[in-house]
Amino acid sequence: MKHNWIKGIIIALLCMAITACGTASKGSKDTDSDKTVKQRVVKTVMGDISIPTDPKRVIGLSVVYPEFIYALGIVPIAEQNYHTDFPSYLAEPFKNTIKMGIAKTPNFEAILAATPDLIIAPEWWSKKDYDQLSAIAPTVLLPQHDDWRDELRDIGEVFGKKDQAEKVITDLQTKVTESKKTLDDLVGDETVMYMRVMAKEVIIHGIKSDRGNLIHVQLGLQPVPKIAETENTLSISLEVIPEYNPDHLIVQLDDESDEVKNRFEEMMNSSLWKNLTAVKEKHIYMMGGKEWFNLGMSPLANSFAIDAVLEAFKNNKKG
């Protein structure tokens, strides 16, 4: 009971701080200093709101929004993180970015302490918290899209960087097209399976998942016949992997936990695994977990993955 009482006081104090910040922010509109900050009106799912024309301290809620923001040339001051460390392609630019963890509810205390001048968040995740967020800083909620390109375009619209957003999309497509030709020369019609080892299960990504689409459709790596008909993903056991028996196997360990590592080690020690064609031919390509976490959902993650796949298959060919 004592802990609940203390927790209640902490929550109350946090709410008071957020409210005070919001009140001060609203009241400061009449001050001379605030009048020097240029504003522009943007359309959001919550209606038109006024935001700084050139925001300096931006927070993107969701694990993928910070990547969109950085793709447009802006380093977020704080972001939600699933893994302890940022993926390697963000490690240097995000070295001063605050990690806020990830939960069902935003870390309001961390957001408040970061003193943002703009918050961008997806409607599906943050609408329930809009009042608290907008009390801290102007908050733009954006609609959910099936295609990351449309999400990037929306964020480009917010920052007045529509042309830059289109360039990111075009540049990545050029890279995809060129990489597909290279991989076709390297692999041809040999089959490739993309397997993701997680703590509770092992998943094969089909061509209709975001991840599988990049590997098999955009990059043109031939899936095994049964996977070609998979709607999205397929949870499998070690015993059935020989039924697919791919020529090449891309393996992603979902994280660096002992549970995931032990699961994969058990697989590798199995005679079923050792008799796979890809294993016998040494066509196993290990990919980073956190680097591939946003695969299929971010131009930065996709670009990094394409480079990793190209390097893996090129090195294998040399060997």
Closest CA to 76 of 164, 234, 127, 64: 64
Distances (CA, A) of 149 to 58, 166, 218, 283: 20, 9, 15, 32
In the chain, the percentage of residues whose pLDDT exceeds 70 is 87
Q: Is 127 exposed, middle or buried (0-12, 13-18, 19+ CB in 10 A)?
A: middle
* Model pTM score: 0.85
pLDDT at 105: 85
pLDDT digits (tens, 9 = 90+) for 213-242: 999 999 999 999 877 666 688 899 989 999
| Lowest model confidence (mean pLDDT) among 2-11, 28-37, 115-124 | 2-11
pLDDT digits (tens, 9 = 90+) for 260-308: 999 999 999 999 999 999 999 999 999 988 999 999 999 999 999 999 9
Q: Distance (Å, rounded) from C-alpha 90 to C-alpha 291?
A: 9
pLDDT at 227: 76
Task: Grade residue 17 by pLDDT with cuts at 50, 70 and 90.
Answer: very low
Q: Which domains does the chain have, with CATH numbers?
A: 33-163 (3.40.50.1980), 183-318 (3.40.50.1980)
- DSSP type of residue 127: G
Closest CA to 238 of 206, 210, 198, 270: 270
Q: What is the mean pLDDT of the chain?
A: 88
Cα 310-155-34 angle, rounded to 5 deg: 135
pLDDT digits (tens, 9 = 90+) for 72-112: 999 999 998 888 899 999 999 999 999 998 888 899 999 99
| Lowest model confidence (mean pLDDT) among 36-40, 132-136, 213-217, 239-243 | 36-40
**Terminus-to-terminus CA distance in the chain, angstroms?**
65
